[in-house]
Structure 1
Amino acid sequence: MKPIKHYTGLIAIVLALILSIFAFLTTSPIYKEQFYVYQTYQNSQNNTVYKFKDKEVLVGDVINYSSSPLRQQSLDKNGKPEHLSQQWVIKNDGQLALLKPDFHLGFWSLLPAITAILLCLITREPLIALLCGVISGALLLGKFNIIDQIIIPNLATDSAAGILVLYLWLLGGLMGIWSKTGAAQVFAEYMTAHFVKGPRSAKFVSWLLGVIFFQGGTVSTVVVGTTVKPLADKANVSHEEMAYIVDSTASPIASVIAFNAWPAYVQALIFVPGVSFLATESDRINFFFKSIPFSFYGIFAVIGTLLVSLNIMTFAGKRLKNAQKRVIKTGQLDAQNARPMSAKELAHPSIPQGYKPHVVEFIFPLFTLIIIAISTFILTGSPAVHWAFTCALLLSCFIALAKGMALHNVIDGINQGLKGVVLASVILMLAITIGAISKQVGGGLYLIELLGEGLPFWCLPVILQLLTMIISFSTGTSWGTYAIAFPLAMPLAWTIATGSNLDNPEVFMMICFATVLNGSVFGDQCSPISDTTILSAMTTGCDLMDHVKSQIVPASFAASIAAILWTSSAVFLA
């Protein structure tokens, strides 16, 4: 008879599903008004419009806030919205805003994320864990036709399709071609001969690439992880160390070197009526950059990865230290029972007989990829990542064919690459779905509502940090957390700043802004259901849960230092 621990995962799954059905049958949604402020203007037809995703959207009929059935007073009275999903209103201070009702289910709103995270830890099977989290959320919403009502709608979006094309077809195909031609292996040998003399220099090169490519998020993760894996494997660097370096120099560096898409996105979420230094879009972008010195977590996270790359493991935690010792003693890049997220086909090249790989086959497509991504970002404000990877893949195929590789071998390489990332791509799709589910059931809204306005001002930065850490860890997204937290946190920070008669309320607002920005990055970086966490493990060939467990200690150390500095800054500077 098997011991009870073998059934722990099954028991947890059954319990989560029972609790989800119980919550659906016994819990009523709690509706809350949500304001969305856009930069409106008059177009050439003299219509009031605003821009959303580079398209002009017409502002509908506008009524006074006091007459709206979607205002909080009406929602409290009626219990639910009156057949309206949104309404344009003039607020009491004269501000034009889009009013939408949103809801949460109290503590039950956290159940899908808790289910997924706990099952990841218990079973070490992220596919099953995420699927159960999705089912839990579907049951909470009463959507029992999970395929048609949850899976397909969340995957049939431009965002999901773009991710699938990029990470399954383009990334998988590129990695497969590099494996088939031996380009990745030759690149590793070239770097080892000229720049990388051992594990430390391999890790430092990886860290340096992460800092240089400061676009952040999935773009940085994929580009850097794909580039450094062959040279790190060649230098015998553990996959846990590499996944940590790639992950912790992606979003953290983007919050510090913010010449990317982040300020443009975030500024739209931080308008506070009556606050002069947040009045216009340029004011808010300027506020973002002025707040960068307070991005303590991002700064210390990047410093932490630099220390690991230099083999200074004092603050790295037991798991990373053990991973480094394991490689030195045994040469094993993964732990004994690890399940790496890249297929064996990508780890061992199958070069056709008579074909001689050259380092240019790796460097030329890689430089093409980076140049296209960076130049399109400079010219348009958004990197054309799909075009960058498409050009790199086509160029790799063309070089292989021009050098005499048979077409069927090129196709076989692409096929092997696709096979190598299928599982990770499915996990990524489920991560997107559970993030959407968590938002629908109001997990982030419930956590923010736990805040009260009667707080000592010096407590607020750390409380905002902890809440955004929990929200982003639970939902697996930093940008999604921004959309939830900033519209609630910034007005709250201003209310507390003015109520406490602070000498420097703008500095206090910068500190609170930085805590939300950085707390969300921490949670996203450490969450097992985050796309960047999954991609860091996938591109470096690491077991997902080994990556999560090994990086959470140094990340938490950086977050703790940041919390102390934010509190001190609030007390002495505000």
Structure 2
Amino acid sequence: MEGTIYSIIPALLMLLLVLLTRKVLLSLGAGIIVGALMIRDFNILGTLNEIWTIFYEIFFVDGSLNIGNILLLSFLLLLGMMTAFLQASGGSRAFGEWMIKRVKTRTGAQVMTAVLGLIIFIDDYFNSLAVGQIARPLTDRHKISRAKLAYFIDSTSAPVTVLSPISSWGAYIIGILGGLFAVNGITDIQPLEAFIKMIPLNLYALSAVLLVFLVAYLKLDIGAMRTHEKRAIETGELLNPEQDSVPGDLGDTFEPHKSGKIFHLLVPIGVLIIATVVSMLITGANESEGGATLLSIFANTNVNLSLFIGGLIAVLTALVFHLQQNEPRSNTFKIFIEGTKTMMPAIYILLLAWMIGSVIGSLETGEYLAQIVSDASISSSLLPFLFFLIAGIMALATGTSWGTFGIMLPIAAEVAVITDISMLLPTLAAVLAGSVFGDHCTPISDTTILSSTGAGANHIDHVLTQLPYAFIAAGAACIGYLVIGFTNQVLLPILITFAIVIAIGLLINYLAKAKLNQA
């Protein structure tokens, strides 16, 4: 069943169950079991062995520890501990009280969160978790639902990092482009130059960022987001009371220390940011062959190790502040335990997401979708539009934008070179855009999981509330890619795409006000 139409069954089943049951662990588990059954031709013992092997290889591969996965999971635990210290020390409360005097409106709090997402562009994981830690005390004080905070984080993490050449994503993509250009004999443009020229052609990422600010300014609460925001404003409940515990949320576990100061929050977070960035620079420089450049550093940096080092130093910093407050040892132990416990939901989801990603990889779902594109006879004017859709579907099904880049960029380059070389950069940009779009829509994306974790939001609430906004940006991008294909221009498609997003935002705002006036 590998590489056939049947290979999409586990992904479709998982997505359908998520929508019907809103139980992410159940849905992921069902997809894993069905996929393993298909891989082992429905042999029960073989299926059990396959599931165990997939789980085992998360931690051990080729006879040695899978250091990258272990470091990322460890960082999540460290983040939970740091969050607990920030709350117990009174730092989160002090920062919230300080910021609410300066940011006096819900709109201001939302805009500040979006701006933070633009500033922290080095890595999507780092963006998701760091922005959540900084913005959550402020958004909580202004009664902004955690689902909305998760949306702001997710829509300014992958879209921003995919646009930045100085980021882990940018370095990865530029590296792929270099190989593609060499294989296809393209010598008139360099990979970095091509990436920069593709930035204005990445219409989904640009639209998603624009929409974030429209949502903040125009109060565009669509669908399920309206329910979350209404409950938060009217009752102060930032989370859905019907959902289970969420990652990163400690509720009222700790009584904040009365002498808590702003620096009890800002210093550990500052240490986290500085230590992580410095570690990324050092690990990237050490792995760069020959003379290290900024681009080569980010291409070779060890993100997971850097996050772990930054998280460990930040936790130790928060621990020092806590001990200075003369808290009893029993309370210190409780902080470590409760901080660890609050991250377990995110770790469970991440483990199962990795497992179903492995199942989908073994079934060659991505290769099957890619083969459909290769076999199709595609008009050159439709290349950007069609590759945007295909990349979106692939990222949605496989849960990985990076994996989609690796599969679809070579195919897009080959098709464009053969049919119309002028469509090369728009088609490659469409693959990047579609991959981010699919990444935003799937519950098994690492970035989506970490965005809900950073916000302290229920994961499925985040996925379902983000979908309408993702489809708005994607719909506008589709029109833009059709314009690119038929006009081969850059500025006009951007203007049309932005105009569509703004027009939809203003229309939704007008209808919401009209409904409010009628009520």
Q: Give the corresponding residue for 2:252.
A: 348
1:152 is aligned to 56
2:97 maps to 1:189: yes
Q: State which drifts further: 416-425 or 214-223.
A: 214-223
Q: Given that residues 279 and 309 in structure 2 are in contact (C-alpha distance below 8 angstroms), is that contact kept between their aligned partners in structure 1?
A: no
Mapping of residues 349-428 of structure 1, within 5 Å: 349-351=253-255, 356-378=259-281, 380=284, 381=298, 382=301, 383=303, 384-428=306-350
For residues 412 and 196 of structure 1, the distance between their equivalents in structure 2, rounded to whole angstroms, comes to: 33
CA contact (8 A) 2:409 2:431 kept: yes
Does the residue aligned with 2:162 lie in a helix, a strand or coil?
A: helix
Deviations 1:257-279 (A, max 9, x none): 33212232123334145645468
Identity over aligned pairs, percent: 28
Using the size of structure 1 for normalisation, the TM-score is 0.75
* C-alpha deviation, 1:378, in angstroms: 4.7
Cα RMSD of the aligned pairs, angstroms, is 2.1
Give, in whole Å, the separation in 2 of the partners of 1:482 and 1:550: 26
Higher mean C-alpha deviation, range 370-379 or range 514-523? 370-379
- In the alignment, the residues of structure 1 paired with residue 271 and residue 241 of structure 2 have an alpha-carbon distance, to the nearest angstrom, of 38
Q: How many pairs were matched up?
A: 456
8 Å CA contact 1:453, 1:496 repeated in 2: no
Q: Are 1:472 and 2:395 an aligned pair?
A: yes
Residue of structure 1 equivalent to 2:233: 328
User: Match for residue 337 of structure 1?
Assistant: 242
Q: TM-score, normalised by structure 2?
A: 0.83
1:510-568 CA deviation, whole Å, 9 max, x = no partner?
11011111110111122111122122222222222221111111111111111111121
Alignment partner for residue 419 of structure 2, among 496, 500, 510? 496
**C-alpha distance in 2, partners of 1:251/1:278?**
29
Residue of structure 1 in register with 2:117 after alignment: 210
Q: What amino acid sits opposite 1:372 in the alignment?
A: A
The equivalent residue for 1:540 is: 455
- Match status 1:177 vs 2:80: no
Contact 1:182 1:349 (C-alpha < 8 Å) held by counterparts:
no
Q: Which structure: larger Rg? A: 1
- Distance in 2 of aligned mates of 1:207 and 1:338: 26
Which of residues 192, 199, 205 in structure 2 aligns to 1:285?
Answer: 192
| Structure 2 counterpart SS, 1:302 | helix
> Which structure 1 segments of 5+ residues have no match?
1-26, 30-103, 498-504
SS at match of 2:327: coil
Q: 2:446 and 2:184 mapped to 1: Cα distance? A: 35
* Residue of structure 2 equivalent to 1:13: none
- Match for residue 166 of structure 1? 75
Q: As a proportion of its length, which structure holds more strand?
A: 1
Name 1:61's counterpart in structure 2: none
DSSP 3-state at the match of 2:190: helix
1:395-416 deviation per Cα after TM superposition (whole angstroms, max 9, x unaligned) = 0001111232233322211110
Distance of 2:227 and 2:419 partners within structure 1: 46
Deviation digits for residues 204-242 of structure 1 (CA, Å, limit 9, x no counterpart):
111111010012422211111122122211110012211
SS at match of 1:524: helix
Residue pair 1:277, 1:284 contacting (<8 A) in 2 also: no
Matched to 1:484, the amino acid is I
- Higher fraction of helix: 2
1:121 aligns with 2:19: yes
Question: Do the aligned partners of 2:80 and 2:248 also contact (CA within 8 Å) in 1?
Answer: no
Look up the SS of the partner of 1:356 in the other structure: coil
Conserved 8 A contact 2:5-2:368: yes
Residue type matched to 2:328 in 1? A
| TM-superposed deviation, 1:292 | 0.7
Conserved in 2, the CA contact under 8 Å of 1:180 and 1:410?
A: no
Q: Deviations over 1:84-108 (max 9, x none)?
A: xxxxxxxxxxxxxxxxxxxx1x111
Distance apart, 1:375 and its partner CA? 3.6
- The partner residue of 2:377 within 439, 454, 478 is 454
For residue 428 of structure 2, what is the amino acid of its counterpart? Answer: F
Secondary structure of 2:343's counterpart equals helix
Q: Note if contact 2:11-2:360 (Cα within 8 Å) is conserved in structure 1.
A: yes
Q: Distance in 1 between matches of 2:361 and 2:51?
A: 18
Q: Deviations over 1:442-494 (max 9, x none)?
A: 01110111123521111121111111111111111111111121122211121
